Every structure is written in structure tokens, then in C-alpha cells.
Amino acid sequence: MKHKEDLHQLIQAMSKSEKRYFTLDAQKSSRRPSKYLELFQAINEMAEYDEGKLRKKFGRNLPYDKSYLYEAILRSMRDYRSSKSKAARIRELLLDAKYLYERGLYLQCEERLRDARQAAGALGDHLALLEINKERRNVIWDLKRRSFREEVHELITEKEAHLEAVGEEFQYLDMLYELLLKNIKGAARSEEEELRQKGYTSLIEERSAPESIHARRRYFQCAALLSQMKGDPEKAFDYYEKVVEWWEENEDYRQEEFYRYVVDLANFLSFCYTNRKLEYMPPILDRLQNSNPKNFHDQQTVFQNVSTFKLIYHINLGIATGINELVESIDKGIQKFQINIVSQAVLIFNTAILLFIVEQFEPCRYWLLKIIKGERFSERKDIKTGAFLLYLIAVYEIDEVDQLESAYRSAYRYVHKELSAPRGSFERVLTSGVKRLMDATPGKKRDILRKLQDKIREIKNDPAQRVPLGLDDLALFWASSRLESRPLASVMKEA
């Protein structure tokens, strides 16, 4: 532990079940459990870390006690995870084998190494298999059975195969990170040529998928990114599908590295969204939702990804079916899972956007109030601004005079005072436009909507103007739907 806040960050990252396990573990294993558990509870209850407050309570030995507690938590979490992790089991078997070897119990050691080899083989873990190979040589040398020479040559042959598999995996892993770095900044033609010169391109274009398990996954990932870079989305889609299929074929590794599984499926969903292949999203979302994550962290990861991409799917297609169940699950999930404030703000705002699009304005208003009244969301000024503007339109649609006047005053105050939006900005144009609609007679409203549309289009075409979160498009669709007397979702679908 190198920094004062390391222990606080570790404790805050633990799930409720992990904290419960550590507490029970500490109570039964420590000679002085009360002191460290008291420190654990004190830090656990701190929303913001306060070293001074802890020093007053725990004295000058606080740095030592914190270091002890930090190591104790990690030891406990190793035990907590080991029963559920095959990779952890392999490491334990290796440690057992080394101990048995040191005591001269070679046959027992060999049995442990055999179990470790079987488990590592099921995971395709060639690094572990190399270490097991090395330990088996010691045992074979000391036992010197009649088959000694054959066993040695077999181990040497196995070693070469493992080294080749590891080298192959790292070769594609190197390429993957080169491609990721170039995609982040937007790859130019010259960079594609650089990849060719390094030999990376030939690894995909001139070779078939490798046989070793993990190199195969990396190959598909590289091929997908390279196809994107070369402007071939159809080929990229095929390779992203192969990544998903790889996980279905490797159940043991999926259980072991569930988080990576979720990331790869999220990458596939993101690709479908950006390339307008939305029809392929539902089966992957169902697969994720029914993936039965084992621990709290994995449940949290699934919740965030499923909620995010379901909202994207419904928003882009304007689908109202199943919205109530989706909104309810998001509400419960935000309360249940330890999601950071920024992610919460995004989920809440996108939920409000969806409710707005399907014209459920009352629940939309309820979700927007979460952001408007939540001080913690202030760091995302774009979302806060969007919430005030969308809230004003939602209340206008509900058509309650008292609420509408209050909503306008709040939006006006935020736009003019908190945001200091300049004259002619989207925020001021929309706020004043809704105010004119509020005060207008029914016969004048269509003219006001047309003028509002014209002003927003001018802003949209002005490169100097920056509109938060694509709200200019949403405002234009809303105005068109009211002028054409059509549902907002259907106007958006035809755009």
C-alpha cells in the first residue's frame, strides 16, 4: 500500500458479500480482531476519506494498522475467490506440489501436478502449463523410472508446443494493442501501411485462425479491428460474431474471466449500434442478461451493459414495448449496485430520453428530477443542462400551468446564471421558444414552432455552436412531430 487512500479505495470497491466474508474471516482467524475490524468499519463508513479523523481515533500506529488491514483483506479475498476460480486452484496445486517435492513426497507431488496440468489444459493456460512442465521435470528426474528417457523427451516436446502457443498469443496481443491505439486517434492510410510493414497485416490476411485457444480469440479481435480500419464493416461484423462464438465454445474460460466475456459482447453491441445493425442486438442482450453472473461485481457489470445497450436499442428504434419493465429494472439496479456517479447520470438521462421519445412525459419528468435535484451530478454539466431543457419540454407537454411556470423559471435561472449561456445559444433559443409557446394562443403555436425549428437548424449548421448530447436533433424531431400531428417516435424512425 503506497498511498493514503489505497485502503479506502479497496474497501469501497468490495461487494457486500465480500465485506461479510472478510468480517467473519477476521473474527475467527485474528488474535486481535476487534481493533482491525473497528478500523475496517470506520473506513467502510467514509464516503470521503479523512486521514485526520482516523488518526484521532486510532492513534500514531495508524499507518502500520492500515498496511496490516490492507494485506489481511487481500489474503481473505484470495481465499474467497479461490473456491470459485480454476486459475486460483491451479496456483494452489502448484504450491502444494512444491511443498510435497521439498519433503521428498514425489508421487504425491506428481499427482498434484497432474491435476494442475488437467485444469490448466481446460483453460488453455499455456503459461501455467510451462511452469507445470518445469516442475514435472524435477519429479521425473528424482523418480528415474524405466520410462525416464521417454518422459523427458515428451516434456521437451510439450514445452515447445506451449512456447509456440504463448508466442502466438502474444504476437496477436501486440497487434491488438497497436490497432487499438490507432483506432483511438483515428488511423490514417500511412498507419495502415506501417502495420503492413511490421508484418501485422499478414498475420490476418495470409493466415487462418490459429489452433491455440487464446491466440484464436486474439486473432478474431485483430481481424475485426483491421477490417474496420480498412472500411469493411461486413467483414468486421463476421469477426466480431466469431469472438462471441469463441466464448460460447469455451465455457470454462467464460466462467473464469467473466468480465472479459462481458467486455467482448459489449464491443459487439457497440459495433452493431455504430453500424446500424440494431436487429442483431436483442439476442446478444438476452444472452448477457441470462448469463448468470456469480459475484456482485459481475452482476453489476452485466446490469450496466444490458441497461445501456437496451436503452440505445429502444431509443434508436422508438420501441415502446417492454419499456416499463426496462425502466423498473434500471431503477432497482441503480439502487442495488455500486455504480459511479457519472455512470448513474448517463443511465438516468438516457432513461428520461427514452421516456420522452415514447411520450411518457410524466415518468420522464420524474427521472429528470433525479438529475436536476442531485448535487452529485453537477460534474456532468452537459447532462445537467440537458435535464433542465428536456424537463421544460416534458412539463409543457403535461400541460399543468403551475408546474410549467416553475419549470420555466428553473430552466431560465440555470441557463442564464449557472450556465451563463450566450445570446443565440441553443440553450437560450430553446428556453425562450418554449416560453413563447406557453404564452401563445393555439393559433400562433404552429408559427412559433416553425421559427424555433429554423433557429435550431441555424445553430446546428454553425460549427462554432456546441449543443449538448445531440439535443438539437431531438428538439427538431419534437417540433416536427407537433407540426405534423404525429408520434415523435415515428418521426424519428423516418429521419
**DSSP per residue, 392-455:** HHHHHHHT-HHHHHHHHHHHHHIIIIIS-PPTT-HHHHHHHHHHHHHHS-GGGHHHHHHHHHHH
CA 349 – CA 221 distance, rounded (Å): 32
Task: Convert the pLDDT of each residue in 142-157 to its tens digit.
Answer: 988 888 899 999 999 9
Least Cα distance to 426 among 462, 373, 392 occurs for 462
**DSSP per residue, 227-259:** HHHTT-HHHHHHHHHHHHHHHHH-HHHHHHTHH
Task: Convert the pLDDT of each residue in 414-425 to its tens digit.
Answer: 999 989 999 999
Q: What is the pLDDT of residue 388?
A: 96
Q: What is the pLDDT of residue 404?
A: 93
pTM of the model: 0.85
Work out the pLDDT band at 378, boundaries 50, 70, 90.
confident
Percent of the chain with pLDDT over 70: 97
With left for phi above 0 and alpha for psi between -120 and 50, is residue 46 left, alpha or beta? beta
Task: Convert the pLDDT of each residue in 266-291 to its tens digit.
Answer: 999 999 999 999 999 999 999 999 99
DSSP letter for 209, please.
P
Burial category of 206 from C-beta neighbours within 10 Å (exposed 0-12, middle 13-18, buried 19 and up) = exposed
Per-residue pLDDT averaged across 427-431, rounded?
Answer: 95
More confident residue, 339 or 166: 166
Q: What is the pLDDT of residue 326?
A: 96
Task: Convert the pLDDT of each residue in 161-215 to its tens digit.
Answer: 999 999 999 999 999 998 888 776 655 555 667 777 777 778 788 888 998 999 9
